[in-house]
């Protein structure tokens, strides 16, 4: 019954976090192994249910993030669709596009006996994800370890850049938490829903934004007046993480500023290997880059031209920002875009697959595992910023299936065409050392992706390792090319 409950919760979690349509994508590059933080760098005791703000760590990130970038810009518009003030382009610090380098293949020869042993050890619900890992190891990034025991960890393609999907929203959450802790943002500020709606692209988040609003309404958390309701800024962050609302994420992203978002990623060490993390662009801009009603050329051809041109990153960064500005500030453009998508059903699944493989923001499992450990151990600038981030990231503590196994669980997942990503940290009861699991899948066949969205075998695999850390070295020993801890 516990397994069934966990599977039900897992299904619920991923459905809340899905942000894109179906598809598959092509392998990005593999690079050397990430260096994870040494044991003992941070405090190791989780505050129970994060009721009180934790103490500051001895190794904080930069105490002050850079000032928000103003909206107005002197950049020229790359298309005539919008002539108002421009937001800064995506790619101010990090590359706007991921590096177009082929992934190094892994030639594995896993015996039938080894497969049988693994199948007997792993939960049945997790086997499809484990089988995919064995059959196509170059398409999977998996980092799992318990704090203080890095040598017992599992590091598969730990530093190979892969599409992040909504996992990138953790960066925005950290930037928000730091701004709140510094007194720059008031979490109780009322944000009109009408303002968030300017960032909302219907039918491209599988209902996540509308579900978030519906839950706030059902719980009485909408602010008056009834004819123009608002939400607290803290609930905008909650919408972004719990329901994976792209509109909420983009509102915070642009409120904080593109430069601050990118600098936060750098400060957190997500680009420790130069070029391993591309710039987080707004989700609205990304979806409009896939296809929009002002484009006069074929969507696929337009995207292929970007990937074929090494100098295209700057143009892409300007265009993705301009399109988001046009949608937010120009009602005629917004109405025309919504109508065009309803009429044409564009961008196509194939276009979305191509975009996910070649243009969507990428990062590494190793870097995000280090970030999850930092968050679990209160490693932001101070105790308050760590508290602000964890109180949002640990929303899954409310579920009985999690309460049975863990005192605290931090979680964010993501979905792109052919891509499923999962990041976890968890404190087991009576265990002061958190367990971290980061699991990235790319190039999933269409049917596999469609099935996994509901069956969640990748999430079951991650939760197995969280609940039973002894399974981590056992799985590592069974994988012939698994990278050991640095």
Nearest by Cα to 375 from 417, 325, 292, 436: 436
- Say what the pLDDT of residue 102 is: 66
* pLDDT band with cut points at 50, 70 and 90 for residue 39: very low
Instruction: Evaluate if residue 75 carries a pLDDT over 50.
Output: no
Are the CB atoms for 219 and 419 separated by under 8 Å? no
The answer to whether residues 305 and 426 belong to one domain is no
98 found inside a domain: no
Say yes or no: 234 and 353 in one domain: yes
Q: Model confidence over 91-147: pLDDT tens digits?
A: 999 999 998 766 667 778 888 988 999 999 999 999 999 999 999 999 999 999 999
Give 157 or 37, the one with higher predicted confidence: 157
pLDDT at 483: 64
Check pLDDT > 90 for residue 478: no
Q: Which two tokens stand for residue 399?
A: 């579920």
Query: Which stretch, 19-28, 159-168, 292-301, 477-486, has highest mean pLDDT?
Result: 159-168
- Average pLDDT score, the chain: 86
In 147-294 the beta strands, taken as DSSP E runs, fall at 154-156, 162-163, 190-192, 230-232
Choose between 206 and 325: higher pLDDT. Answer: 325
| Cα–Cα distances in angstroms (integers) from residue 423 to residues 341, 393, 439, in the given order | 32, 11, 6
Average pLDDT over residues 357-381: 97
Final residue of a domain: which of 338, 360, 382? 360
- In this structure, what DSSP letter does residue 13 have? H
pLDDT tens sequence across 193-214? 999 999 999 988 888 999 999 9
Q: Dihedrals φ, ψ of 28, to 5°?
A: -85, -170
Backbone angles phi, psi at 35, to 5 degrees: -95, 115
Total domains, the chain: 2
Q: Contact 458/439 with Cβ under 8 angstroms?
A: yes
Which of 204, 371, 125 is CA-nearest to residue 272? Answer: 371
Q: What whole-number distance in Å separates Cα of residue 53 and Cα of residue 123?
A: 36
pLDDT bin (cut points 50, 70, 90) of residue 269 is very high
pLDDT at 79 (0 to 100): 46
Residues 428 and 372 in one domain: yes
Q: Are residues 250 and 343 in the same domain?
A: yes
Residue 14 domain-assigned? no
| Same domain assignment for residues 398 and 313 | no
Residues sharing a CB contact under 8 Å with residue 43, sequence separation 6 or more, in sequence order: 54, 55, 57, 58, 377, 378
User: Which of 345, 360, 375 is the endpoint of a domain?
Assistant: 360
pLDDT of residue 285 exceeding 90, the answer is yes
User: Is residue 181 domain-resident?
Assistant: no
> What is residue 204's predicted lDDT score, i.e. its pLDDT?
87
The whole-number pLDDT of residue 62 equals: 41
Residue 13 has pLDDT above 70, yes or no: no
pLDDT digits 0-9 by tens, 386-437: 999 999 999 999 999 999 999 999 999 999 989 999 999 999 999 999 999 9
Please check the confidence at residue 70 and state whether its pLDDT lies above 60. no
Specify if 270 maps to a domain.
yes
Secondary-structure breakdown of the chain: helix, strand, coil percentages, each rounded to the nearest 5:
50, 10, 40
pLDDT of residue 80: 60
Sign of the dihedral defined by the CA atoms of residues 244, 247, 249, 252, in that order: negative
pLDDT at 103: 64
Residue 183 lies in a domain: no
Which residue intervals of 103-192 are DSSP H helices?
112-121, 127-135, 169-181
DSSP 8-state symbol, 327: H
- Weakest-pLDDT range from 31-45, 151-165, 219-233: 31-45
Mean pLDDT, residues 298-321 taken together: 92
> How far, in Å, CA of 391 to CA of 380, rounded?
13
**DSSP three-state, residue 40:** coil
Dist CA 104 CA 27 (whole Å): 9
HSE-CB for 79 with a 13 A CA cutoff: 20
The phi and psi torsions of 215 (rounded to 5 degrees) equal: -70, -40
The whole-model pTM stands at 0.85
Note down the domain range covering 326: 169-176+188-360
Question: What are 42-59's pLDDT values in tens digits?
Answer: 332 333 333 333 444 434
pLDDT score, position 100: 76
Indicate if 241 and 307 belong to the same structural domain: yes
Burial class of residue 112 (count of CB atoms within 10 Å of its CB; 0-12, 13-18, 19+): exposed
Are 440 and 365 in contact by the 8 Å Cβ rule? The answer is: yes
| CA angle (393, 35, 392) in 5-degree steps | 5
pLDDT reported for residue 66: 40
Task: Tell which residue, 283, 351, 286, 275, has the closest CA to residue 316.
Answer: 286
Q: Say if residue 233 is in the same domain as residue 356.
A: yes
pLDDT reported for residue 311: 86
Structure tokens at 264: 């936060």
227 and 301 co-located in one domain: yes
- By the 8 A CB rule, do 362 and 163 touch? yes
């Amino acid at each position: 019954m516990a397994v069934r409950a966990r599977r039900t919760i897992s299904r619920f979690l991923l459905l809340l976090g899905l942000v894109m349509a179906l598809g598959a994508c092509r392998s990005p590059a593999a690079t050397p192994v990430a260096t994870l933080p040494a044991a003992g760098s941070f405090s190791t005791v989780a505050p129970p249910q994060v009721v009180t703000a934790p103490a500051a760590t001895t190794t904080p990130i930069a105490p002050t993030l850079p000032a928000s970038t103003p909206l107005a810009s002197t950049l020229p518009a790359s298309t005539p669709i919008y002539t108002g003030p421009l937001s800064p382009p995506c790619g101010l610090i990090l590359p706007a596009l991921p590096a177009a380098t082929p992934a190094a293949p892994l030639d594995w020869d896993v015996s039938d006996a080894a497969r049988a042993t693994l199948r007997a050890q792993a939960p049945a619900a997790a086997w499809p994800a484990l089988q995919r890992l064995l059959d196509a190891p170059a398409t999977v990034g998996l980092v799992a370890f318990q704090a203080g025991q890095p040598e017992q960890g599992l590091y598969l393609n730990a530093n190979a850049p892969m599409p992040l999907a909504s996992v990138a929203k953790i960066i925005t959450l950290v930037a928000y938490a730091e701004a709140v802790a510094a007194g720059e943002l008031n979490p109780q500020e009322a944000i009109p829903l009408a303002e968030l709606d300017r960032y909302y692209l219907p039918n491209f988040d599988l209902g996540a934004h509308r579900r978030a609003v519906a839950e706030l309404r059902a719980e009485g958390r909408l602010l008056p007046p009834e004819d123009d309701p608002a939400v607290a800024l803290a609930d905008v962050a909650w919408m972004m993480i719990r329901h994976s609302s792209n509109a909420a994420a983009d509102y915070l992203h642009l409120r904080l500023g593109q430069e601050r978002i990118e600098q936060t990623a750098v400060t957190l060490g997500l680009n420790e290997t130069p070029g391993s993390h591309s710039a987080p662009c707004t989700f609205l801009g990304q979806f409009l880059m896939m296809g929009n009603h002002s484009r006069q050329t074929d969507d696929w051809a337009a995207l292929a031209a970007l990937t074929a041109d090494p100098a295209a990153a700057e143009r892409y960064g300007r265009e993705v920002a301009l399109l988001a500005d046009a949608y937010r500030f120009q009602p005629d453009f917004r109405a025309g875009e919504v109508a065009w998508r309803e009429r044409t059903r564009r961008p196509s699944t194939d276009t979305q697959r191509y975009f996910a493989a070649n243009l969507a923001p990428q990062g590494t499992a190793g870097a995000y595992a280090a970030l999850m450990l930092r968050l679990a151990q209160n490693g932001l600038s101070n105790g308050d910023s760590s508290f602000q981030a964890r109180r949002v990231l640990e929303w899954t503590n409310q579920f009985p299936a999690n309460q049975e196994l863990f005192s605290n669980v931090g979680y964010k997942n993501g979905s792109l065409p052919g891509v499923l990503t999962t990041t976890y940290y968890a404190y087991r009861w009576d265990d002061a050392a958190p367990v971290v699991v980061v699991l990235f899948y790319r190039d999933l066949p269409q049917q596999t992706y469609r099935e996994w969205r509901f069956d969640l075998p990748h999430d079951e695999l991650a939760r197995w390792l969280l609940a039973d850390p002894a399974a981590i070295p056992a799985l590592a020993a069974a994988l012939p090319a698994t990278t050991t801890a640095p």
